[in-house]
Amino acid sequence: MDGTSPSFSPSPDVWCDPLQVLPPDKYTQLLQQLRKQVPSSLKVIGHLNSNMKDAKHFELSAYVDEWPTFSVLLCVVPTAEGIMMYKNDIVFHATDELKLKYVLQNTRVIDWNKSVHFKGVSPLCSLSATRWFV
């Protein structure tokens, strides 16, 4: 040993996504928090309610930046084969524009190689926000 300490070098394969999966057993608590943010959260509430009532026919995956105090929530709705819909059907709610920008630019939840359809765009996301990706 030469007396030098080894330096840490992360593997290029290591990726830390800014979003974490929210398990379905937390959806009730999530709905309680979203109800405090009506009207901007109404689309997300509708999708979560539909999922909780009929999870067999309406699948949904929820992702948050932090739990239980989140500022970005993405709900990804998978599409059935043969239905003319966007492959990335995403309903989201955000209370922090900068964090939303960071999440959208750094998450692997969204497949940017396919068409993306966002629903539930809140007043927080002005038209100028679309310039992030231009």
* Cβ 22 vs Cβ 33: under 8 Å: no
Tens of pLDDT, residue by residue over 45-93, are 988 888 788 766 567 889 999 999 999 999 987 665 544 454 568 888 9
* pLDDT score of 35: 95
Which tokens go with 25?
């057993």
Where is average pLDDT lowest: 39-43, 49-53, 130-134?
A: 130-134
* Cβ 94 vs Cβ 37: under 8 Å: no
Q: Is the pTM for the entire model greater than 0.85?
A: no
| 14 Cα distance to chain centroid | 20
Residue type present at position 134:
V
